Structure 1
Amino acid sequence: MIELRRGGPEEFNAALNTVIGVYTAAMRPPVDQLSGRQSIMRNHSTFPDFTCLFAENTDGTVVGFGYGFHGMPGQWWHDVVRRALHDQAGPTIAAAWFGNAFEIAEIHVHPDYQDKGIGRRLVRDLCEGRPESTAVMSTHDQPTAARHLYHRLGFTDLMTMFVFPGGYEHYAIVGSPLPLQPIA
C-alpha cells in the first residue's frame, strides 16, 4: 500500500537526496546534470505556497514525489513559458492560464512503482484545494504514459514542440482549470 504524505519546504529539502534518487531512476538524466537539478529543486522550495507530496511504501521508503507552487513573474519557468504563450496565442490566453496558476514542477515515480496509479494520485492530491484557477506544467512532447495521464486528468495542450532556452528537447506545455474534474 502506497501512502501519500504532504511536506513543506523544510521536509522537502531534508529529503532532497532521496528525491534526487527517485528523479534519477525515473528520468535517467546525464550524471553531470544532477547537481544543477538539485539546486533548481532547492530553489523551487522557496517559492510562494510550495507544497510537496511524498509517495511512500509501507516501510516509509519514498517511491515517488511531486511538488508545485504559486507561479509568479520573476520565476524562470513562469516567465519563459508565459512569454512564449503570449507570443503564440496572445495576451488574453496567456493571462488566463498564467495569471493565477499553480505550477506543478515535478512529478516522478520510481520505475518499480509505475503503472500503479501513484502518478495520478500525486497530481490530483497536489491540485486538491489549491486556491489558483489553473494548474500548468511541462512534459515531454511524446506519447508517454505521463502525457496520457495528464490528458486523462483534464490537462490540455497549450503549446507543443516547445524548446526551452538553451535546450534541445521538445516539450508540451499543458494546463487544466482547477479544481480538476473527476476522471470519467
Structure 2
Amino acid sequence: MIELRRAGPEEFAASIATVIDIYTVAMRPPDDQLSGRQSIMRHHATYPDFTCLLAEEADGAVIGFGYGFHGSAGQWWHDVVRRALEEREGAPAAAAWFDNALEIAEVHVRPEYQGKGVGRRLVHGLCAGRGERTAVMSTHDEPTAARHLYRRLGFVDLITMYVFPGGYERYAIVGAPLPLPPMP
C-alpha cells in the first residue's frame, strides 16, 4: 500500500537526490537540465506555505512526490504566467486565478506506479485544507495521462500551447477552484 507523508522544506531539501531521480525517470529531461532543476526545486522550498507530499511504499521507498506553495509576485513562474494570462484574457481573469493561488510546481510518480491513483492522491493531498482560492500549474500540452488526470480533477485550461521564455516545449497552464471536488 502506498502512503502519503508530508515533508517540510528541510526534509524535502535533504531528499533532493531521491526527488530528482523520480523526476528524471518520470520526465526523461535532457541531462543538462538536471542541475538547474535541482537548484530550482531547492529554491521552491523557501517559498511561502511550501507543502510537499512523498508517496512511499511500506518499506519507506519513495515512489512519487508533489509539492506546491503560495504563489506571489516576485516568483518567476507566477509573474511570467500571470502576465501571459493577463495579455490573453485581461487583468480581471489573471487576478481571479492568481491573486490567491496554490501553485503546484511538481507532481511526479515513478513510471511503474503510474495509473494506480498515486498522482491523483498527491494532487488532492496538496490541495486539501489550503486557504487559497485556486490551484494552478503547468503541464505538457499533449494528450498525456497527467493532462487527462488534471481534467478529471477539475482543472481547466487557462492558456494552451504556451512556450515559456527561453524554452521550446509547449505547455498548458491549468487551474481549478479550491477545494477540489471529493475523490471518488
Partner of 2:68: 68
- The secondary structure found in structure 2 opposite 1:83 is helix
- 1:61-117 CA-to-partner distances (Å, cap 9, x unmatched) read 100000000000000000000000000000000000000000000000000111110
Match of 1:26 in 2: 26
Tell me, which stretches of 5 or more residues in structure 2 are unaligned? Answer: none
Alpha-carbon distance in structure 2 between the residues aligned to 1:155 and 1:182:
13
Number of the residue aligned with 1:162: 162
CA displacement at 1:58 relative to structure 2: 1.2
RMSD: 0.7
Q: Identity of paired residues, percent?
A: 74
Question: In structure 1, what residue type is equivalent to 2:181?
Answer: Q
Give the superposition deviation at 1:182: 2.5
The code of the aligned residue for 1:81 comes to V
| CA shift digits 1:125-175 (9 cap, x unpaired) | 100000000000000000100000000000000000000000010000000
Deviation at 1:183, TM superposition (A): 4.8
- Aligned residue for 1:50? 50
1:39 corresponds to: 39
CA distance in 1, matches of 2:63, 2:152: 22
Instruction: Tell me the residue number matched to 2:14.
Output: 14
For residues 81-96 of structure 1, what are the structure 2 equivalents within 5 Å? 81-96=81-96
Return structure 1 stretches of 4+ with deviation > 3 angstroms. Answer: none
TM-score, normalised relative to structure 2: 0.99
Partner of 1:100: 100
Counterparts of 1:44 and 1:147, CA distance in 2: 23
Task: Please give the alpha-carbon distance, in whole angstroms, between the structure 2 residues aligned to 1:100 and 1:37.
Answer: 25
Q: How many residues were matched structurally? A: 184
Separation (CA, whole Å) in 2 of partners of 1:168 and 1:31? 16
Gaps of 5+ in 1: none
Describe the SS at the equivalent of 2:85.
helix
Supply the AA of the counterpart residue of 2:127. C
Instruction: For 1:114 and 1:145, locate their aligned partners in 2 and report how far apart those are by CA, in whole Å.
Output: 9
Q: Secondary structure at the match of 1:130?
A: coil
